[in-house]
Chain A
């Protein structure tokens, strides 16, 4: 069903989804999706609203567990291990598969405590110096260090929207994840803040497997190497980003990227 381009270079799959169905009660939101999330690449999910991009993204770190009516079928593997198997440590999984949300959601704590939160609960830091080092490193990687280094005690919620979102990315980085999931991370930001985040994603790309849901075709084209086009709960087409945008094989993909619907 999913058209997968055959010119893809061989990559190591960090995550592998097979025949995944997601239901909210009786309503099916994801319909037998099977795709790979390659290591060290940025994968973009595009598609019209309501087609299930967020739902699928949340099933990659089992955030769907927090929705009472949600039910996931099929297998999703992280490094070959089924994350839905019984006895899976969800807390550990979420530390390995981090997430950045659509609306920046820093905790109402200081900038420092926002970053230190994850390392503290996972026991990453031996002492205060360790923690300081982690906080600094995460903020540096998220490109926020220079802006906030003198005001680490200020509330995270006092930052601008773009800074808040980078704080959330820094917070995710601080627990040393292997995969970072981003659900429309720029949709609440202005163009300048958006450009900064895109730059940041580029910087992070070689280090983590990144999945980004986006409404903006340009953004997908700018930051991602792989693109999956979602439609009505299915992945219609999956391939190199450049191919999907210049040379789509499916009629529905072509319609969507030329703006005929969505």
Chain B
């Protein structure tokens, strides 16, 4: 049963219910002209329509998740499945081949063993599709009938609809939260597998990063999984070099825009800055790799550096800093503009100059917003991959010299996942561990920032 058909079916039935309920509600009016309805007929209509559509859709979502499993089980229980290899890779391939042919995704099987299973698959799929449609129709009918029978002149359809709407909104917000939790859980799962193969201490404190996906997965060399150079690279590029560029420039541009720029100027510059945030990061990557990195090398040569690398942390960090200026400036701009003008007037009336007022009154009062902007920028910089790949290389290097090639956590995650290794190899699994630790680090950063802001904020209301 395809989701689209179910969806259309739900819409159609809901529409029918809607019209029927409205007609019924109208009939109350015509039957007893004097009676006071507790809700307008449209609300009765929506009430019934929602009761038809929602159970169907919820069931549909559930069924699309459950049905494939049920189909699989049915097929495995069939006599044709008896000849399958017991476990592992081959068995999975045969099953998925047969499934693909049965569902029409591919036209023929490679493995002759799969051919025998095509028919059972097709049968099971059709059967469960029909079951799905039947159950959803029954649900729609039950929901519709139950709600339709409740319609009365004094039925408070309006408050009921309100409650259903609230439930839908709640569900929507839960989905984001649940997804996040789901992501974390899946990360944790793979991370635990990884730590079963590689000593966590070696991972967290080791100074050498060089997993070899070709080595044997049975006995990995823990000393090659030291993540410190990666985290150092991430922090050095994303949180140090980039922030040295982005914080002052972003803050100063926000101050200029809110305090000095003429309104006509502000109207131009602010959107222009925000467009910067929308430039794809590959474009910045080109810029970093083709323009900035070579000039940095030339400058380094000029100052007598011997053999500077053409890829450098500095190039990536600088360009990343420019990329996140809009994050800092836009949040800082909003929060400075939100400081009541009474604060500014109070300071000016004391004989403070404009820049004293900005430094000592406006910026402190706007600090929470400014810090939030910086945090956003840091998370963005830490998660950035493209610029680093293009300008700072993929070589893990533990160094404080910004002219050297370095790499970051996200770059290595991509490198490990797109490699040749299987998902049972620690080199591949290390991507999950890296992601998990990165997640924890950003979480901690945000948490600390929140606490700091709460502690030092100068609330002006």
Contacts and interface: CB of A to CB of B under 8 A. Distances in A.
Interface of A: 61, 63, 66, 91-95, 98-99, 101, 103, 105-109, 117-118, 121-122, 155, 157, 168, 171-172, 175
B182 to A, nearest CB: 41
Nearest to B361: A107
B346 interface: yes
Given A107-B365, A108-B458, A117-B352, 18 more contacts: A66-B345, A66-B348, A92-B351, A94-B350, A98-B349, A105-B346, A107-B347, A107-B460, A108-B343, A108-B364, A117-B360, A118-B352, A121-B350, A121-B352, A157-B461, A168-B346, A171-B350, A172-B350
A129 B122 CA distance: 90
Interface string B47-75: 00000000000000000000000000000
Interface of B: 340, 342-353, 356, 360-361, 364-365, 457-461
A118 B348 CA distance: 10
Given A63-B345, A101-B345, A121-B360, A108 B350 contact: no
A98 B343 CA distance: 15
Contacts of B340: 105
A99 B342 CA distance: 12
A66 B350 CA distance: 14
Nearest to A94: B351
Contacts of A101: 342, 345-346, 349
A32 B347 CA distance: 30
A105 B350 contact: no
A66 B357 CA distance: 13
A108 B459 contact: yes
A47 B348 CA distance: 27
Contacts of B457: 108
B458 A107 contact: yes
Contacts, number: 74
Contacts of B351: 91-95, 118, 121-122, 175
A108 to B, nearest CB: 3
A103 B351 CA distance: 19
Instruction: From A91, A93, A106, name the one whose CB has the most chain B CB atoms within 10 angstroms.
Output: A91
B364 A99 contact: no
Contacts of A106: 346
Given A94-B350, A105-B345, A171-B350, A121 B356 contact: yes
Given A94-B351, A157-B461, A175-B351, A108 B365 contact: yes
Nearest to A181: B349
Contacts of A171: 346, 350
Given A155-B458, A155-B459, A99 B349 contact: yes
A94 B458 contact: no
B135 to A, nearest CB: 60
A107 B345 contact: no
Contact of A94 (B344, B349, B460): B349
A140 to B, nearest CB: 19
A26 to B, nearest CB: 18
Instruction: From B344, B348, B349, B356, name the one whose CB has the most chain A CB atoms within 10 angstroms.
Output: B349
Contacts of A98: 349-350
29 contacts: A63-B345, A91-B353, A92-B351, A93-B351, A98-B349, A101-B342, A105-B342, A105-B346, A106-B346, A107-B343, A107-B361, A107-B365, A107-B458, A107-B460, A108-B365, A108-B457, A108-B458, A118-B351, A118-B352, A121-B350, A121-B351, A121-B353, A121-B356, A155-B458, A155-B459, A157-B459, A157-B460, A172-B349, A175-B351
A95 B347 CA distance: 11
Contacts of B460: 107-108, 157
Contacts of A95: 350-351
Nearest to B356: A121
A110 to B, nearest CB: 9
Contacts of A117: 347, 350, 352, 360
Contacts of A94: 348-351
A92 B351 CA distance: 6
Contact of B350 (A109, A157, A175): A175
B458 A118 contact: no
A44 to B, nearest CB: 20
A117 B344 CA distance: 13
Contact of A109 (B349, B356, B458, B461): B458
A118 B342 contact: no
